[in-house]
Amino acid sequence: MKNKSLISINDYSKEEYLKILDIAEEFEKQPTQNILNDYVIASLFFEPSTRTRLSFESAVNRLGGHIVGFTDASSSSVKKGESLKDTIKTVSNYSDLIVMRHPVEGSARFASEVASVPVINAGDGANQHPTQCLLDLYSIRKTQGTLDNLNVAFVGDLKYGRTVHSLVIALSDCNCTFHLVSPVELKLPSSVKRFIKDKNLKYYQYTDINEVIPKVDILYMTRIQRERFADPLEYERVKNSYVLKNDMLENSKDNLKILHPLPRVNEISEDVDTNPKAYYFQQALNGVYVREALIASILGLK
Amino acid sequence: MNDNQLRKELKVTAIENGTVIDHIPSKSVFRVIKILGLDNIDNQILFGTHLDSKKYGDKGLIKVSNKYFKSEEINKIALAAPSATLIVIKNYKVIEKRQVEIPDTITGIVKCFNPKCITNNQNVTTRFKVIDKEDIKLHCHYCEKITKKENIQFI
Ligand SMILES: [Zn+2]
């Protein structure tokens, strides 16, 4: 994967992303390694995203690398009207790898075309967030021992949730069965279902979360946002029907793990946090190992 | 070529050597001229709109003297004029006739439907993969959203 930008999870084959997960396992055993001493990583956050930025910066720091960049566009030349192209070309001169977050969809793909160094997309608007997908895959494989033949439930906003889209697409290469739980307004788009159908895999759609809990190995929860609803009353009606509470997990499988891309609002009640099936905080930590693996791999160090 | 066809060809004057692009929807003639960059070349160009057509009732037509188009060049007009026919003329004779075909990729001719796409926010040339040629569905190389036939806007 040397010098290969990661813009969309589809850029990497299954074999390639499995390789990243293998390297991430090594970093989990030994997270601090001085291999980036001679490298400068640009961290360009055109919009703030503290969680993602800290995870990347933690990964770079644990590997002994150096970071240049900005944490939101207001403190950069972008504010003065510099084009994305000019910013990226300039920063390419100062760094060996660019990590970027930008509110405009497709910005990361464009940046990777004008940059002379590889680019990692840390989120381009509602489009892609491939490192989130990698850490989700890592978390699933780690807790289930495999990515193949699993029963995976996605709950909440399946229409706009980009992490759901990427993960469904990636797991379509793994012979999984999909259980899709959402309000009717927020069903998984047909453009994503196409990937499941293309592989002749099964998916089932539900509006009641209780129906899927006993069946699945992974319960992937997401946030339902008020602004997604044209009718505010509709939001009020559905918002509490997609909340996971500890007593709902009674008949779940022993190997079930609950994932969530975080931050959560109220869709997982706090009484779930101490249940050993709750995995979302560990999931976030896995993000550091996966990002270490990705950076090391792109720079040709692993 | 029978007399009837010949008369039709002559309506906008025959050309000795060059290309006739026939069966263009009348409203798309100027668009086709722009897409092919014919407004910037020195060749003699004749064109007509709202001509009689047996097949379509009404059509537009462009004749370019001493110019021949490569397939990938002429296929750029397929979105604006899907029914267009290319007629290659040498010595006043029709040497070849062929239909335009929707290409696999489309660069810089149509806008991405997604207002949040980088191509609508910065100076970036649009690029699409044609994922459905029958129904015309264009997959944006940048924002990865699909622009459907009814949402196509030319640049
Ligand atoms: Zn686009």
- Residue A91 is predicted with a pLDDT of 96
Q: How many CB atoms lie within 10 A of CB A259?
A: 24
Residue A27 CB-half CA count within 13 A:
31
Peptide bond before residue A263 is cis, with ω within 30 degrees of 0 = yes
What is the extent of the structural domain holding B47?
Answer: 15-99
Candidate from A8, A84, A127 with C-beta closest to B122: A84
Ordered DSSP codes for A101-155: EESSBTHHHHHHHH-SS-EEEEEETTS--HHHHHHHHHHHHHHHS-STT-EEEEE
Range of the domain at A229: 130-284
Whether B85 is covered by a domain: the verdict is yes
Q: Classify B23 as helix, strand or coil.
A: strand
pLDDT at A16: 95
Angle subtended at Cα A241 by Cα A240 and Cα A244, rounded to the nearest 5 degrees: 85
- Return the pLDDT at A240: 83
Q: Percentage of residues in chain A with pLDDT exceeding 70?
A: 99
What distance lies between CA A278 and its chain's CA centroid?
A: 18
Q: How far from chain centre, in Å, is Cα A113? A: 23
Domain boundary among B84, B99, B114: B99
Q: Do A126 and B124 touch (CB under 8 A)?
A: no
Q: Which of A53, A62, A101, A165 is catalytic?
A: A101
pLDDT of residue A238: 84
Q: Does A101 participate in catalysis according to the annotation?
A: yes
What amino acid occupies position B81? A
pLDDT in tens, A102-131: 999 999 999 999 999 999 999 999 899 999
Contact of A287 with A62, CB cutoff 8 Å: no
* Same-domain status, B94 and B22: yes
Specify whether A201 is located in the same domain as A280: yes
Same domain, A183 and A214: yes
The answer to whether residue A142 is catalytic is no
pLDDT tens digits for range A223-234: 998 888 888 888
A194 touches chain B (CB under 8 A): no
Q: A119-154 as b/e, with b when 16 or more CB fall inside 10 Å? A: bbbbbbbbbbbbbbbbbbbbbbbbbbeebeebbbbb
In a domain, A4, yes or no: no
Q: Which pLDDT score, from 0 to 100, does residue B26 have?
A: 93
Does residue A3 sit within a domain?
Answer: no
What's the gap in Å between A212 CA and the centre of ligand 1?
Answer: 36
* B2 within domain boundaries: no
Q: Which residue of B has its CA nearest to A102?
A: B118
- Establish, for the pair of chains A and B, how many residue pairs have beta carbons separated by less than 8 Å: 48
Our answer to whether residue A223 is catalytic in this structure is no
A163-206, pLDDT tens digit by residue?
999 999 999 999 999 999 999 989 999 889 999 999 999 999 99
The neighbouring-strand residues paired with B146 are B139
Question: What ipTM, to 2 d.p.?
Answer: 0.89
List residues in chain B touching A: CB distance below 8 A: 114, 116-119, 121-124, 140-146
Whether residue B87 is found in the same domain as residue B113: no
Please compute, for residue B85, the number of CA atoms within 13 A of its CA located in the half-sphere on the CB side: 12
For chain A, what is the domain count?
2
Do residues B94 and B121 share a domain? no
Our CA-based measurement puts residue A263 at a distance from the nearest CA of chain B, in whole angstroms, of 24
pTM: 0.88
Show the tokens assigned to A181. 């739980």
B68 and B134 in a single domain? The answer is no
Residue B6 lies in a domain: no
Overall number of domains in chain B: 2
Q: Is A251 helix (H, G, I), strand (E, B) or coil?
A: coil
- Which of A127, A133, A193 is most worth mutating to test chain B (most B CB atoms within 10 A of its CB)? A127
Query: Is A125 an interface residue toward B (CB < 8 Å)?
Result: yes
Q: Is B17 helix (H, G, I), strand (E, B) or coil?
A: coil
**A128 within 8 A of A8, measured Cβ to Cβ:** yes
Tell me the one-letter amino acid at A12. Answer: Y
> Do A103 and A138 reside in the same domain of the chain?
no
Exposed / middle / buried, residue A246 (Cβ in 10 Å: 0-12, 13-18, 19+): middle
Which whole number is the average pLDDT over A30-55?
96
Record: contact B118-A104, CB cut-off 8 A: yes
pLDDT at A236: 86
pLDDT at position B71, please? 85
Q: What mean pLDDT is predicted for residues B56-71?
A: 91
The SS3 call for residue A185 is helix
Interchain CB distance below 8 Å, A105 and B114: yes
**Residues 76-95 (A) with a CB less than 8 A from some CB of B:** 83-85
For residues B69 and B134, membership in a common domain is answered with no
Is pLDDT at A251 greater than 70 in this prediction?
Answer: yes
How far apart are the C-alpha atoms of B124 and B61, rounded to whole Å?
32
Instruction: State how far the alpha carbon of A286 is from the alpha carbons of A58, A137, A240, A298, B3, in Å.
Output: 12, 10, 29, 18, 78
Query: What pLDDT shows up at residue B4?
Result: 58
pLDDT digits (tens, 9 = 90+) for B19-60: 999 999 999 999 999 999 999 999 999 999 999 888 778 899
Three-class secondary structure of residue A269 per DSSP? coil
